[in-house]
Each structure stands twice: as structure tokens, then as C-alpha cells.
Chain A
Amino acid sequence: EAGVAQSPRYKIIEKRQSVAFWCNPISGHATLYWYQQILGQGPKLLIQFQNNGVVDDSQLPKDRFSAERLKGVDSTLKIQPAKLEDSAVYLCASSFPSVTRTSYEQYFGPGTRLTVT
């Protein structure tokens, strides 16, 4: 079974530039998550999709971050304009949606390491 795919793996940009990350979840996983992981910290949820609908985006800085999952499969996360504090690893994860169980485990992609200079 193929895992969660993400690209690019690394990105270096200057502040005020824009950047986009792409994620392809595991086939059949309707729930997709974007996390921000700053060095030395745990992943912080930015946005959660179920199919192509947003379930939770309460921690997404909406003035500069946007995400979409138009066809309920692939997703993109965009930052515009980037700030120095956006330097982090951006992780995409997917899981089965919870129906009868409390929750399912999340499968993480390799992440995109963003450096903003």
C-alpha cells in the first residue's frame, strides 16, 4: 500500500514570497490533515478535511494560509505572503473517517521542510 505522498520535500523562500505544498493521501482515506511542526515541538493541526469539506480550520492563519481539497483526494496548502516564523515542517496526514470508532490512526507523509529567509 502506498503511503501519503508530499511534495516538494524541501523549499527555501524569502519572506513575503508565496509557496504551495501538495499532498496525496492514502487511497480510500477520506480524512486529510495538514500540520505545522516547528523544530522541537509536536505537530500542530492547521486544517482538517473530510472528503472536500473543511471539518476544522480553527488554527489556520487565514490571513496568509489557505488550503483546498477540490475533488476530495489531493490537497494543496498555500502560504502567501510567508513570514520568518513560518519556517517549519509541514506534514500531511490521512485517515479513515471515524464512523463507529472513536478515531482512527493517522498516517503521515514525509513532510515539506520550509525555510523562510
Chain B
Amino acid sequence: GQQVMQIPQYQHVQEGEDFTTYCNSSTTLSNIQWYKQRPGGHPVFLIQLVKSGEVKKQKRLTFQFGEAKKNSSLHITATQTTDVGTYFCAGRYWGKLIFGQGTELSVKP
């Protein structure tokens, strides 16, 4: 079946460093959503990207959707301890949302 691959699985950074997670699909997506799950918590919606090549920013977070609508990335500038958690991309194929396996971010103060 359809899969959404996400890398890396884990990322440990020093506070103030940047962080990027990448999401790839073998087939074209209708759109892609990003969620954040804090330790012990539930996924919380961050953003949705729909258009080819779309770039959206939320404060220190930058989200990109590839030109072919098969890949996406989330970049965090100058990480803070509040950024800790697992970031999931979720690609939509024909109405079905498929989650990647997530990237767990830890931030050392």
C-alpha cells in the first residue's frame, strides 16, 4: 500500500541549533499535513500544504511542499526546549491520510 517515509527517525540537537525533518512519498499527494506530538501527548495539527512548491512559515517553523508534490520538509530555526516532541507528516492519497513514522526531536539546553 501507499507509504510515507520520514527521516531521520531521531534528532538530538543543542538548543539554538536548527532542525529539519524530511518526508517522501512514492506517489503524488493531494496535500500534506504536519502534526506535533509532545511526549505522552496526542498529535496536534500544525499546518496543511496543498499547492506544488508551497512554502509556509509559522514563527521559527518553515514548511515546504515539493514541486512534484511527493516530498515535504519541516525546518525549525534556532530550536528551543519547547520544540521537543515527535513531528509527523501525513500525506493524503485519494482521501486517505497516511502518517509517516515521525521524527523525534530532543533538545539539550
Contacts and interface: CB of A to CB of B under 8 A. Distances in A.
B30 A103 contact: yes
Interface residues of B, number: 23
B68 interface: no
A103 B102 contact: no
Nearest to B44: A108
- Size class of the A contact interface (CB-based, 8 Å): 20 to 34
B31 A42 contact: no
Interface string B13-36: 000000000000000001101000
A105 B4 CA distance: 18
Looking at chain B's contact residues, the main secondary structure is: strand
B43 A102 contact: no
A17 B102 CA distance: 31
A110 interface: yes
B99 interface: yes
B42 A111 contact: yes
12 contacts: A42-B4, A42-B88, A42-B101, A42-B102, A91-B43, A102-B30, A102-B31, A103-B30, A103-B97, A105-B45, A108-B42, A111-B42
Interface of A: 40-45, 55-56, 91, 93, 98, 102-103, 105-111
